[in-house]
Structure 1
Amino acid sequence: MLGRRSEVLRLGGDRLRLRPWAGEAGTGLLIQLTPGSAVSDDATAAAVESAISRGYHRLRTSALSHIESEPFLRAGFKPCRQLALLTRPIQNRLPGITGNIAIRKARRRDHPAVLAIDRDAFEPFWQFDRHGLHDALRATHFRRFRVACKDNDTGLAGYAICGRSGPVGYLQRLAISPNQQGQGAGAFLVIDGLKWMARWGVAQAWVNTPQNNTGALRLYERLGFEQVPPGLQVLEAVLAP
């Protein structure tokens, strides 16, 4: 029976979330919930067996560092997408920006519009569905979910999800409607998130984006982020029943 919901796999001291990949029947997404270090080879093998037992025929990982990738590569996974990883110290001064962009707290009734923006802003491989949005909103204990709109405009221009854990902050998702890109919404949302992190004592902010997303890279670098080689990668395996 094909798994159709998100579930947490507890494998020894490692925790991974297994859920369907958005828009691809039979493909599962494996999210490492203990970031920063590699899971065990036994946990990797058990996760693959769980995916097979749930009817998945293809399995992809979330974005992993090269250290986190090692057990999956040993298990036969192959790189399928590369991401740039960027960081900036919070105490560095933010550039000034101007514009008629309003930022407000996202509400539950905004979720359909947020997901529509996400579909328009990203190629199918990266798009969120409701499970992806739900996972992003609970990826850290503390989060900030904001939407942007132009003054006197009831439609949304974009949204951002930021999170924090101790002294580390994350820009977990930023999506701007294509017809609003280049008009300041992205910069307003990023700066809003960085100011929130600063108020809570975060020292360093991190963000990743596909290496071919030149618009996002220009935005982040303009706002003081610097790339950290070699970046991150998404891995993929075809599962044999």
Structure 2
Amino acid sequence: MPDTARAPGEGPPSSLPDLTDEQAGAVEALVSRAAAADGGHPLSEASLLALRAPAGSARHLLLAGSGGAVVGYAQFPREGGAELLVDPAERGRGLGSLLAEHLERLAGTEPLAVWAHGGAPAAAALARRRGYRAVRELQHRRRPLGTAAPLPPLELPDDVAVRAFEVGRDEAAWLELNARAFADHPEQGRWTAADLAARQAEPWFDPAGLLLALDAQHGRLLASHWTKVEGGAGEVYVVAVDPAAQGRGLGRAVVLAGLHHLDAAGCSSAELYVEADNAAALRLYERLGFELDTADVLYQRGTAGPGAG
């Protein structure tokens, strides 16, 4: 990504507390163009949801080209890593560096972390030039489903029952489980009722695909597997096991329950994201046939002020 001169008529990015429907649509179109060119997911789900969230959830940087179209976008979130994206047709002209510079100004003297999706070499090169280092890796893994790739049989402990999530009944218990299971996770463990409601409002949400494992005698929620289906592809979306219930094989059980659900729904494959340093989860997923596809990398810059490095 050489930092060559920009075309006449292109100014600095606009910094906005929220986006209009038209602006959000323009960014979503940019995301679609990048996905078509690069594959994968150019922005995280949380960042996509923030495009249409109320003011205050994130700061949005819009970069317009000489014709007025959005050619670059960056998001400075309330928490978690920032993200930036450049139109595939406009790359190699320094727009990524320009957006990164403005993100650094928003961060001030605080450390800034920025996600690079798919492990693109250009993103790694940009990170090196601006003094960032890789601090986290999120692996994207995939396995086929169907008769060509049969699943192991589902076996549940005798004292555990599995049922589907019930809207209006299970929200509080699921959020409590999620907080316990992901107490040390920088994003997942902080989900609120509003975060859950935002995903329940998405077109892909299906309560039948959110499976709950409960203590058969007392009804206490022990684990869950939230599956997701979009465009015929299945995803192991969120797997949560209560730390107090670990060691009983519930992780494997709920993962398999969800995979069997996706298989029965006609999905040709299942995908998931897993932290690269989560050795136990990696072993489980590898034994279930999930192979590495790509990786998202979080790059972080230290406490030096804007312009350093």
Structure-1 residue corresponding to 2:120: 67
Is the contact between residue 164 and residue 211 of structure 2 (CA under 8 Å) also seen in structure 1? yes
Is the contact between residue 159 and residue 174 of structure 1 (CA under 8 Å) also seen in structure 2? yes
Aligned in 2, Cα 1:212/1:126: closer, same or farther, shift over 3 Å?
farther
Aligned counterparts of 2:210 and 2:124: Cα–Cα separation in 1: 33
> What displacement does 1:95 show?
0.5
After the TM superposition, which residues 168-183 of structure 1 pair with which residues of structure 2 at under 5 Å, given as runs? 168-183=233-248
Is the contact between residue 101 and residue 188 of structure 1 (CA under 8 Å) also seen in structure 2? no
Is the contact between residue 117 and residue 176 of structure 1 (CA under 8 Å) also seen in structure 2? yes
Could you tell me which runs of 5 or more consecutive residues in structure 1 were left unpaired when the two chains were aligned.
22-27
Q: What is the aligned-residue RMSD (CA, Å)? A: 4.0
Aligned counterparts of 1:146 and 1:139: Cα–Cα separation in 2: 18
Structure-2 residue corresponding to 1:85: 140
After the TM superposition, which residues 1-241 of structure 1 pair with which residues of structure 2 at under 5 Å, given as runs? 5-6=57-58, 10-11=62-63, 12-13=70-71, 17-21=75-79, 28-31=80-83, 42=95, 45-46=98-99, 49=102, 52-53=105-106, 57-62=110-115, 64-67=117-120, 69-70=123-124, 73=127, 74-91=129-146, 92-99=149-156, 100-105=160-165, 107=167, 110-122=170-182, 123-125=184-186, 127-130=188-191, 133-134=195-196, 137=199, 141-143=203-205, 144-228=209-293, 231-238=295-302, 240=305
> What displacement does 1:178 show?
1.2
Aligned counterparts of 2:285 and 2:291: Cα–Cα separation in 1: 8
Q: Is the strand fraction higher in 1 or 2?
A: 1
Q: Normalising by the residue count of structure 1, what TM-score does the alignment of the two structures yield?
A: 0.71
Is the contact between residue 136 and residue 172 of structure 1 (CA under 8 Å) also seen in structure 2? no
Give a deviation string over 1:123-165, Cα, whole Å, max 9, x none.
Answer: 2435431269549937975244333212123221123333233
User: Larger RCO: Structure 1 or Structure 2 (Cα < 8 Å, ≥ 6 residues apart)?
Assistant: 1
Classify the secondary structure of the residue corresponding to 2:117: coil
State which drifts further: 185-194 or 67-76: 67-76
Larger radius of gyration: 2
Could you tell me which runs of 5 or more consecutive residues in structure 2 were left unpaired when the two chains were aligned.
1-16, 18-54, 64-69
Aligned residues: 231
> What displacement does 1:220 show?
1.5
